[in-house]
Structure 1
Amino acid sequence: MKLQRIAIQEFRQFSGRLVIDDLQPGLNLFTGPNEAGKSTIAEAVRAVFLERYKASHLKDLLPWGLASGQPSVEVSFDLDGVACRLSKQFVTRQRCELRIGQAVFTEDEAEDKLAALLGFSRAARGPMKAENAGVPGLLWVQQGSTQEMRDSTGHAAQYLRDALTQLSGGSESAGEDALIAAVQRELRQLLTARTQKPTGPLAEAEQKLAALVASRAELQQQRQQFDDNIARLAAQQEAFDDAGRRRPWELHEQKAALAQQRAAALAELERSVQGLAQSLQVSEAELALSVQQEQGAVELEAAVAREREQFDAARAEVAAAQTAHAQAASSVAQFEQASAGASRALELANAAVTAADLRSQIEFYRAESARLEASIAEADKANEAVLQATREAAALEIDEAQLKRLVALDGELTVLRARTEAAMTRIEYRLSGELSVGDARISGTGVLRVDEEKRIGLGELGELRVIPGVSDLSAQLSALASLEARHAQSLQALGVGSVGDAQARHEQWKTLVAQQKSQAKILGVHAPQGIDALRTALASTAARLRTASERLASLPDVSAAPPLDDARRNADIARDALEAARKVLAQAAETRSTGVATAESLAAQLQRKEAQLADDAFRRNRSQWQANIIEQRVKVDALRTQREGRERELEAVRLDDPAAEAKRYRASAELARQEQHERQVRIAQLRSQLETMGASGLGERLAALDAQIEQATRRKDELSLRASALSLLDEVLVDERDAAVVQLRAPLTERLGHYLKRLFPQSGIALGDDLSPATLEREGRADLLDALSFGTREQLGILTRLAYADLLKTSGRPTLLMLDDAAVHTDAARRDALKRALIDAATRHQILVFTCHPELWDDLGVRLRALEDLKVA
């Protein structure tokens, strides 16, 4: 099958109509960047052949932004030398028409015919599924799926087997396959296909047997439990009767009562100890208060003595501070006089520096004024030259465009005059007499140009009629006259007599313009911002000169001024000394003030505390505090001795912890009563269970279950034996069929080897049952396809599809290969090998290659068709 033309309209990104014709029978390369529409073209071909035209899911084929579009695809192709055309319109006004030669098929009949021709099956409803794609799904590779082979080969496996059967000369036994299918159906009723686990009747038999065995085990467990319950009932009854005789709970209750009495005595002793502790705390607090009051009086006496000493020291410090303050004030006065003298010397030194700066500025301003006056003179001269050149250039200026037109007219006029001169009839004459030419007379020697019919009189001999031989001479003369008029008009417009005059005038104008620019540059050098700016700068410099001179005259006489650095250093030294003296004076004043304040404060505090010690009430209270201290110490010692004795008694009683013992004995009594009650309950439960189980007939039920288990075992063994026999028969039949398939695969294996040796010499591909590549065998090892790199699987995907296409072609099936960006993960060396394989396959098949890397495919010797060019066309 060879595509000849593809027409796509309102299909996804193609909102208009795209036509691709002149498709070659071999290799066709389509290039374009991402989203240029390459995959859309491939999808359009898939849709027109494979999709059902009435499918409702194809709304995604509508052009972008055009919800009311009518996607349609039409292809023209050749099938075994017969011209064919297929057209489909989707979404709205669906239609389908297939023409094969003179035969016309429409709608469902057309789609059934396509499926039979190309080797695929129609989807019952919805979109085309991968399992229905058949041969096109194998040979038409979508973007990013080159490396995926297993599913597409499996879906086309039946078509490939038919081709192999036709090529091998044998026949694949349909009866054998039917027998294998029948055996496998029977086997699948007993065992699962993948895990060989029981299913159907066999699983039911095993489940029934397992349930019966579990029931028997449960009954046996119940009988064992019956026997155990009889023994437990006897043991529980014996323990219940023994406890009823001993009654251990009563003994525990008696012990608990005695322990409770000891606990009450312990509580009374604890209360007595707490009372003594409280009395001791009160006495100790009273003693501490008396001691604290006496300690306060002692501390007051010590404070008075200490503060008297501090007051004497403070008065001595005040006297010393007053002496230091007087000395510091005298020093400050001396340093102030020295600092004032240094400041006057510094002012005179600064005035000397300022005078020197002003003299330097005066010299600079005088030099700048002279420079500006010279620049103004030169600038005026250059400005006058610019104005003169501008006036002269304006007088000679000529329109350059009109000059160009005049030169062009002059050239045309020269050429036309030469042509007219060449076309005119020339008669050279040398006469001894005189002849008439028209109304004129000629004689002597000359040249007569005949631009129209003329009569030459020969006297008695008659006359000659001269007719120019060029038929369009009159037209040339008319054109010449028109051109000469235009030429004269141009000369008049420019005000010149000839082209040479115009050109000479233009050259003079250019010379003057150049002079104008040259003088303008000179003016820019002298006055970059204009002559007015120079004059302004001159006036400003003169004003600054006057100001500097006036300032210099106002300065004092600086002939005796010291150096500025010495004056500044002396001033700094004097200022620092003055600041230091002032700080000393401030510190002495602060020390004097602080000493006076401290002495006054100490005098007031000392007077207040001495008055407090001399107070009669304070003396009486102090005597009372001292007497209370003696009495309270005796009382505290007695209470402490009594409390320690009681605490020793309490510690001895607490060692037995009577309250805990009472609680323990009560809990033991409760547990003994509860255990006796629980024994009574268990005895009743065991008697009830034994009565129930004894009446259920455990022995008869066990015997019936043993019979059912024997019957279920026989049924399960029968089904297992049947499953084993079917498995063995399936293995034998499949081995026989596989041996026949190996013979059928020979043509496909040969084609695979033909292409494979281009990339992988000395290697082979092992095929699976569905004829898809399973392993790559090379260098003594076999690698699963899934273990290979992405690029290697991609390359094998292309080569195997070429082999499948050869197989189908040889068996008479129509083939067409489409590769959409199929070798993007392939290195340069292997890509060259793939190209040679494609060139080889293109001699037998039509191949459409879509790529976004034209630079990698421009060496195949075929034309690269750019999508952008196709869109423009």
Structure 2
Amino acid sequence: MKLHRLTLTNYRGITHRDICFPDSGVIVVSGANEIGKSSMLEALDLLLESKDRSTKKDVKQVKPTHADVGAEVTAEISTGPYRFVYRKRFHKKPETELTVLAPRREQLTGDEAHERVRAILAETVDLDLWQAQRVIQSASTSATDLSGCNALSRALDVVAGEVDATPVAGAGPVDTLLVDRIDEEYRRYFTATGRPTGEWLTATTRLRSADEDVARCAAAIAEVDDAVRRHATLTRDLNALAAEKVAAAASLTAVRAAAEAIAVLTGELAQARVRAGAAESTHAASLATLTERRRTRAEIDERTATVTRLQQEAQTAADDADTAREMRVSADETAQQARTLLEACKQRVDAAHAAVALLADREEADRLAARIATIERHQRELDAATRDLAKITLTAELMSTIEKAAAAVDRAASAVDLTSARIEMTAATDVDVAVDGEAVTLQPGQRWSAAVTGATELDIPGVLTVRVVAGATASSTQAALDRATETLGAALREAGVPDLDAARALDARRQELQAAGRQVRAILAALSTDDSLDALRTRLADVRGRLPAEDGLFDATTAAVQDPAAQRRELIEATAAHQQALRDCETHAKVAEAAATLVTERELRAARVKEKLAVVAEELAAAGHRLAEARATVADDQLAVTTQADADAATAAAAEVARLTEELARHAPEEVAARLDEAERVAASAVARHDEAAEALREVAAQLKVFGTEGRKGRLDAAETERERAHADYGRVQRRARAAQLLRTVMGRHRDAMRSRYVDPFRTEVERLGRIVFGETFEVDVDSELRIGHRTLSGRTVPYDSLSGGAKEQLGIVARLAGATLVAKEDSVPVVIDDALGFTDAERLTRMAEVFDAVAGDGQVIILTCSPQRYAGVQTARHIELVT
């Protein structure tokens, strides 16, 4: 298939566009964004696939918005033996026209023309290949899938030696046709995912429904039999339950009589317990009064002894407090002496610190002066390097320009040597020759040669004149050399150097100065990390301002220079003495504090003992008063007699309660209560079960009457007959379905084995083209579906999905171009690349251009782009520029 011409009228924002495409090679169609490049491919698809009256969304979207007209698309296409012009107008006054130019002329319109084109394409074009051989903007990095392309499969079969190289017109490979028929038979019984469908699903559903009907009817018959059995059982159970109900009522009457006798005894026992409780309470009260009288007498005796003991403790605590006060006075005097010694030591340490600080200031001044001198020296070095660098006009960019110009001169000179003719002369005797007016003298055997890039005249005086004219190629290469030389000269003049070696030497000097400057700046930055030069100078002035006017440190009394080491030793000794005095002071202060604490504790103890003595004396007086009042009311002897009488009355009441309790126990009240509960439960259960059985018997009798009118046996016979028929149909369809499934599985296995054989030619072609782009170490792994799974480069293998966007896009284009080179000439379709290689760097673009040149043959490669400079390196490309 080849696209010769495409015309768009009123299509989206395109008023009119008519493009003629060359029959073969790389065609670059360029134009600005939104000028309608992608619309051309979209329009061709609509022309070939959609009817003129289609209301699909894709067709509606291409209607122009600036005018009430219909979009028109016209294409001239050749495929197989056919060449035709096909035109459609959509939306407004839709129409379709077809003119077949070869092999015989035809003219059709409307749906007839549409169906004719579809038939021609189905006969001569692998439509799957036509869709696969596209690189679209939105899917430029997706994996290429060529597995469904019959044309490519035939080509790979030929390369792999599977079939004859001559294709069969109008038909795919024999194996593909057979597999399609097998798939068609398989789809009669199974879906694409292997689930039953069609006849197989119908037979399965019918058998399952028949089995369910038989089970349902059999369950209904079993329900009738069960109801009959339940009616007989319930009749027997009802008679037995009536007798059980009478026996339970008689047993309940006897147990209730025994329970009433026990209730009488329980009442008498309750009254006896009340009387016994009252007697016990009276005895407890009199006993408590007697006990309290005894406790009060014991309390008076105990508190009398306590008063005597506390008087002795109070005298001892007062003596201890006097001793503690004397200790505190002595500790306070010792602590004051330690504080005086500590103050003297502190003054000695402050004097030593001041002397050492002056020593530190002098050392700090020396260190700062040395650091400032180092910074000033490196700053002078940096200024000198900066001045030398400012004198150099050569920059890195200009040097790069000079190097590129020199390389261009070398390439142009090599091209001149390759394309120019050469004149070679060997003298047989002494001879003078004029070359373009310049004399050349040759001695016998001497050889002379020169390249001819333009018209050159050789004159042997008195003998002959020869004029050599160079061809157009040599002239153009010489002109290119002249231009490259002029470019190099201009760059050298701009840099102020006579030649390339001088430029390189000057650039080396510039780089050396820049490196030295960077090194010095790094040193200055390190030296000035904490403070700037001005800050260092300010600090130096401050330190020197704190130093004495004389050079050195002097003793204030002797005016003699002190030894720094001795002064530091004095500081250490003074500090040690101060620390010892501080520790002694803290120790004596703690002793004084402990003495004060001891005084406080002993005084507090004496006060507490005195207070406790007063409290106990007061409690002793109160207890004596209470005892006197109690004896005035009841004497001790009379209280003892009353308590004994109350005890005897309580004992008699308790004996009566014990007698009644024993008599009640002989009647076993718990057992009688349990028997009463059990008798009541048995009687109630017998009545309930009797009523329940009677109700169930009535329900079963009513149910049997209804079953007799439903005809359940007849429905069971009909369901069993239907199940036998469904089972026969199921077995017949099952055999055909399993046979189709087995045949499809076997053919699929053989087809996969065949595909694995023709993967190698495809992979070889992909690697051949890919090595132009990625280098000689490039390898790919291709699966049976002709998809690239892994890429190997320099021994490193990376999955396709892990590659960069640019690498995926390049591999996608290489795979499609490899498919285009393998497909037979009569099966080829245009490869369309829509604005690709946007992720590709300049070096890869140059190599991709070589790939396009390598595949430029009989097929068409149509590139749609808004950046034609990406494809400037494609030498064989023909460019078509779109304008508004």
> TM-score, length-normalised on structure 1?
0.51
The answer to whether the 8 Å contact 1:259/1:662 transfers is no
Which residue in 1 is equivalent to 2:827? 845
Deviation at 1:329, TM superposition (A): 1.1
Q: How do 1:732-747 and structure 2 match up within 5 A? A: none
In structure 2, relative to structure 1, the CA distance for the partners of 1:325 and 1:363 (3 Å cut) is same
Please tell me whether residue 117 in structure 1 is matched to residue 120 in structure 2: yes
Which residue in 1 is equivalent to 2:346? 346
In structure 2, relative to structure 1, the CA distance for the partners of 1:49 and 1:295 (3 Å cut) is farther
The answer to whether the 8 Å contact 1:280/1:639 transfers is yes
Q: How do 1:243-258 and structure 2 match up within 5 A? A: 247-258=246-257
The amino acid of 2:330's aligned partner reads: S
Which residue in 1 is equivalent to 2:855? 862
Secondary structure of 1:52's partner?
coil
Give the alignment partner of residue 588 of structure 2, picking from 578, 587, 593.
Answer: 578
Deviation at 1:261, TM superposition (A): 1.1
Which residue in 2 is equivalent to 1:335? 335
The answer to whether the 8 Å contact 2:38/2:864 transfers is no
Which residue in 2 is equivalent to 1:508? none
* Distance in 2 (alpha carbons) for counterparts of 1:715 and 1:664: 60
* Distance in 2 (alpha carbons) for counterparts of 1:72 and 1:555: 118
Which residue in 2 is equivalent to 1:140? 131
Secondary structure of 1:614's partner?
helix
Secondary structure of 2:3's partner?
strand
Please tell me whether residue 197 in structure 1 is matched to residue 203 in structure 2: yes
The answer to whether the 8 Å contact 2:218/2:716 transfers is yes
The answer to whether the 8 Å contact 1:346/1:568 transfers is yes
* Distance in 2 (alpha carbons) for counterparts of 1:357 and 1:825: 71
Secondary structure of 1:657's partner?
helix
Secondary structure of 1:4's partner?
strand
* Distance in 2 (alpha carbons) for counterparts of 1:284 and 1:542: 108
Which residue in 2 is equivalent to 1:58? 57
Deviation at 1:333, TM superposition (A): 0.8
* Distance in 1 (alpha carbons) for counterparts of 2:550 and 2:630: 91
In structure 2, relative to structure 1, the CA distance for the partners of 1:693 and 1:592 (3 Å cut) is closer
Deviation at 1:259, TM superposition (A): 3.1
| Identity percentage of aligned residues | 15
* Distance in 2 (alpha carbons) for counterparts of 1:255 and 1:709: 59
In structure 2, relative to structure 1, the CA distance for the partners of 1:136 and 1:328 (3 Å cut) is same
* Distance in 1 (alpha carbons) for counterparts of 2:295 and 2:125: 117
* Distance in 2 (alpha carbons) for counterparts of 1:285 and 1:10: 124
The answer to whether the 8 Å contact 1:77/1:83 transfers is yes
Deviation at 1:847, TM superposition (A): 3.5
The answer to whether the 8 Å contact 1:5/1:75 transfers is yes
Secondary structure of 2:786's partner?
helix
In structure 2, relative to structure 1, the CA distance for the partners of 1:263 and 1:534 (3 Å cut) is closer
Secondary structure of 1:658's partner?
helix
The amino acid of 1:839's aligned partner reads: T
Which residue in 2 is equivalent to 1:608? 618
The amino acid of 2:47's aligned partner reads: V
The answer to whether the 8 Å contact 2:125/2:827 transfers is no
* Distance in 1 (alpha carbons) for counterparts of 2:211 and 2:363: 129
Q: Deviations over 1:499-556 (max 9, x none)?
A: xxxxxxxxxxxxxxxxxxx9xx9xxx9xx9999999988986775457999x999999
Give the alignment partner of residue 668 of structure 1, picking from 674, 682, 696.
Answer: 682
The answer to whether the 8 Å contact 2:266/2:664 transfers is no
Give the alignment partner of residue 629 of structure 2, picking from 611, 617, 623.
Answer: 617
RMSD: 7.3
Question: Considering only CA atoms, is the larger Rg found in Structure 1 or Structure 2?
Answer: 1
Please tell me whether residue 262 in structure 1 is matched to residue 268 in structure 2: no
Aligned length: 613
In structure 2, relative to structure 1, the CA distance for the partners of 1:657 and 1:620 (3 Å cut) is farther
In structure 2, relative to structure 1, the CA distance for the partners of 1:749 and 1:46 (3 Å cut) is farther
Deviation at 1:663, TM superposition (A): 3.3
Which residue in 1 is equivalent to 2:409? none
Q: How do 1:39-50 and structure 2 match up within 5 A? A: 45-50=44-49
Which residue in 2 is equivalent to 1:594? 604
The amino acid of 1:331's aligned partner reads: A
The answer to whether the 8 Å contact 1:29/1:849 transfers is no
* Distance in 2 (alpha carbons) for counterparts of 1:345 and 1:62: 102
* Distance in 1 (alpha carbons) for counterparts of 2:807 and 2:372: 81
In structure 2, relative to structure 1, the CA distance for the partners of 1:8 and 1:659 (3 Å cut) is farther
The answer to whether the 8 Å contact 2:303/2:620 transfers is no
The answer to whether the 8 Å contact 2:6/2:20 transfers is yes
Q: Deviations over 1:219-253 (max 9, x none)?
A: 9x57x9669857975x4786589679xx4355234
Secondary structure of 1:795's partner?
coil
Secondary structure of 1:794's partner?
coil
Deviation at 1:608, TM superposition (A): 0.8
Which residue in 2 is equivalent to 1:316? 316
Deviation at 1:205, TM superposition (A): 10
Deviation at 1:39, TM superposition (A): 9.1
Q: How do 1:260-409 and structure 2 match up within 5 A? A: 260-265=259-264, 267-268=266-267, 271-272=270-271, 275=274, 278-279=277-278, 282=281, 286=285, 289-290=288-289, 291=291, 294-295=294-295, 298-299=298-299, 301-303=301-303, 305-306=305-306, 308-355=308-355, 357-358=357-358, 361=361
In structure 2, relative to structure 1, the CA distance for the partners of 1:847 and 1:355 (3 Å cut) is same
Deviation at 1:336, TM superposition (A): 1.0
Which residue in 1 is equivalent to 2:785? 794
Please tell me whether residue 659 in structure 1 is matched to residue 673 in structure 2: yes
In structure 2, relative to structure 1, the CA distance for the partners of 1:363 and 1:666 (3 Å cut) is closer
In structure 2, relative to structure 1, the CA distance for the partners of 1:631 and 1:538 (3 Å cut) is same
Q: Deviations over 1:791-820 (max 9, x none)?
A: 63522999xxxxxxxxxxxxxxxxxxxxxx
Secondary structure of 2:826's partner?
coil
In structure 2, relative to structure 1, the CA distance for the partners of 1:568 and 1:5 (3 Å cut) is farther
In structure 2, relative to structure 1, the CA distance for the partners of 1:601 and 1:81 (3 Å cut) is same
The amino acid of 1:843's aligned partner reads: K
Which residue in 1 is equivalent to 2:454? none
Which residue in 2 is equivalent to 1:568? 578
Deviation at 1:325, TM superposition (A): 2.0
Secondary structure of 2:827's partner?
coil
Deviation at 1:316, TM superposition (A): 0.7
* Distance in 1 (alpha carbons) for counterparts of 2:256 and 2:241: 26
The amino acid of 1:792's aligned partner reads: D
* Distance in 2 (alpha carbons) for counterparts of 1:327 and 1:862: 117
In structure 2, relative to structure 1, the CA distance for the partners of 1:306 and 1:68 (3 Å cut) is farther
The amino acid of 1:794's aligned partner reads: E
Secondary structure of 1:3's partner?
strand
Which residue in 2 is equivalent to 1:805? none
Deviation at 1:345, TM superposition (A): 4.0
Bigger mean CA deviation after superposition, 51-60 or 595-604: 51-60
Deviation at 1:354, TM superposition (A): 2.0
The amino acid of 1:115's aligned partner reads: R
The answer to whether the 8 Å contact 1:19/1:870 transfers is no
Q: How do 1:428-439 and structure 2 match up within 5 A? A: none
> TM-score, length-normalised on structure 2?
0.50
Which runs of 5 or more residues in structure 1 are unaligned? Answer: 121-132, 154-159, 175-190, 391-396, 398-517, 762-789, 799-820
* Distance in 1 (alpha carbons) for counterparts of 2:240 and 2:25: 105
Secondary structure of 1:77's partner?
strand
The answer to whether the 8 Å contact 1:11/1:72 transfers is yes
